[in-house]
Amino acid sequence: MKYHLWTIGCQMNEADSQRVGSELEKLGYR
């Protein structure tokens, strides 16, 4: 499965997006 993260806002949002992305990749998403 594929995913797409759309980050809006401050640097904290970017850090959260990276964390969510790494968790999704652990679950097999690309």
Q: Identify the domain containing residue 21 by its residue range.
A: 1-30
Per residue in 1-30, pLDDT (tens digit) is: 999 999 999 999 999 999 999 999 999 999
pLDDT given at position 11:
93
Q: How many CA atoms lie within 13 A of 12 on its CB side?
A: 0
For residue 24, give Cα distances in angstroms to 3, 9, 15.
8, 21, 14
Domain count, the chain: 1
pLDDT given at position 26:
98
